[in-house]
Every structure is written in C-alpha cells, then in structure tokens.
Amino acid sequence: MKNFVMKVASVVLVGAMGLAFAGCSKGEAKSSESSGSEKFTVEEGKLVMATNAFFPPYEYYEGDKIVGIDAEIAAAVADKLGLTLEIQDVEFDSIITGVQANKYDLGCAGMTVTEDRLQNVNFSTPYAKGIQVIIVKEGSPITDVASLTSGNYSVGVQQGTTGDIYISEEVEKVERFNKGADAVLALTNGQVDAVVIDNEPAKAFVAANAGLKILETPYADEDYAMCFNKENTVLMNKVNDALKALTDDGTIAKIVEKYIPSK
C-alpha cells in the first residue's frame, strides 16, 4: 500500500479517431439531424444523459426534477447542439456500461477520468474540478489521511466512484454503497469509521447530520468530464466544441458559481 497525503487524478484528453454509428436499429445511434446526415445520438432530437442524481450540487432532485451543475451544463450543451436534454437517473456503477451499450449518449455524473475507465469509454475535456475528502465523526481518532490509511479502520464509499477506487488501494476494509448518502448513514450508525466522497456533497451531508465533520486535509484532487461510447467520436467532438464555447462565454463559470459560490 502506498502512503501519501494526496493523489492527483490523471486526465487524458482523447482525440477524435472513429466514425459515427452506421446503423439505426434499437441500441444503435439514430440521426439527430435530417436523413443522410451524420448520426451521433441514440434518439433523434434528444441528448440522453445518464447520471446518478444523489450527488449534490452536481446532480440532485428538486421535487421530481433533476437539477445541479451537471444538469445545467448538459442542458447548455444540448442547446448548443440543437437537441433536447433527457436525463436518466441510474446507479453510478451502471453509467459506463449503459454508454457502451448505446442506452445513453453520454454519462455526466461528477465522473473523473481514470486509466481503467479509459479502457471502456472516451472522455470530454474537463468542465469542473472536484476534491475528494474524508468525513468522520466528531472526536474521531482519524485526523488526517495518514491516520486513516495506517489504522485498522473501515471506510464507506459510493460504489464505482473514484473515492472507491482510491481508498481501496489504501485500506482493506471498504464498505460499498449505491449512494453516497447511504455511506454517510452507515457512518452515523457506526457501521464504518469514515467516508471518502467529493467535497461538495460532503458539505451537504455534514450540514444535514449533526456530529460529523470533514477533515481539513483533502484526499485527492480531480477533474470531472463527460464519458462517451468509444465509437461515437462525432458526438464527443461536438460536445467538446460546445464546452469550449460555453467556457469562453462564461456560461460554465456562472453555473458553477450558482451552486458553489466563491464568496
């Protein structure tokens, strides 16, 4: 096991190499434009995004509607492409397999680029930054990353996230949950000794659960990006162009500021 204070997630920008999907049968990409044009979305006129809507402020429910940083950025991208955004809420661990199977056009769920994920999907240019942190109970003997990884502690994570990937290399006792909120509940109930999760949802969970705190030392810095079927470089390139335009005109910065105020 490696002993460290912080990891940095490696972001790899994937170049355009492939062609758009050739067929239009179920499970394959259909044209989002007129007949004879390039085919780059699963369903005509729509941009279908897979997410896991329990990761505030990136994606969460307000009533029956999914909102958040990822939802608004994806909506802005869809608008740039002349498409209607459709968000499907699924288990985080099933997003990549669904994108591979052409059930969704892209995955957008506070997802970090990793070498393992790059074997299965391509990623857009990064659009936001995240920080993995550690949540513990007030008075916990766990005071920093070193004390967590050197002790015989159990750690709760959301299955399939980078928090899961990173901490699994550092400690033996890892409890995996479908939602970050379930991992935090396990911490409050004494089932685990700590939780590793993104800083922004961590703030919300700590605010909602008395007796918890976030350690001052970050666990990992990372960049968030959207994932695509490896064959659909046409859509990836179009999304990258849209993300650049939305970055250049300040739209993405305004969306992030709305949910994570700098002051």
For residue 247, report the phi and psi dihedrals to the nearest 5 degrees.
-75, -45
Query: Residue range 113-130: average pLDDT?
Result: 93
What are the pLDDT digits (tens) for 222-237?
889 999 999 999 999 9
What are the extents of the domains in the chain? 7-127+225-259, 130-221
What are the pLDDT digits (tens) for 43-54?
999 999 999 999
**Comparing 245 with 221, which gets the higher pLDDT?**
245
pTM (2 d.p.) = 0.70
> What is residue 221's predicted lDDT score, i.e. its pLDDT?
84
Residue 10 has pLDDT above 50, yes or no: no
In the chain, the percentage of residues whose pLDDT exceeds 70 is: 85
What angle do the packed helices 69-80 and 233-248 form, to 10 degrees? 110
Q: Which architecture characterizes domain 130-221 according to CATH?
A: 3-Layer(aba) Sandwich (3.40)
Residue 135 has pLDDT above 90, yes or no: yes
What are the pLDDT digits (tens) for 33-76?
433 346 799 999 999 999 999 988 999 999 999 999 999 999 99
- Note whether 7-127+225-259 and 130-221 share their fold: yes
CATH topology of domain 7-127+225-259: D-Maltodextrin-Binding Protein; domain 2 (3.40.190)
What are the pLDDT digits (tens) for 138-150?
999 999 999 999 9
- Whole-number Å distance between alpha carbons of 188 and 141: 15
Could you tell me which residues come within 8 angstroms of residue 209 by beta carbon, excluding any fewer than 6 positions away?
Answer: 184, 188
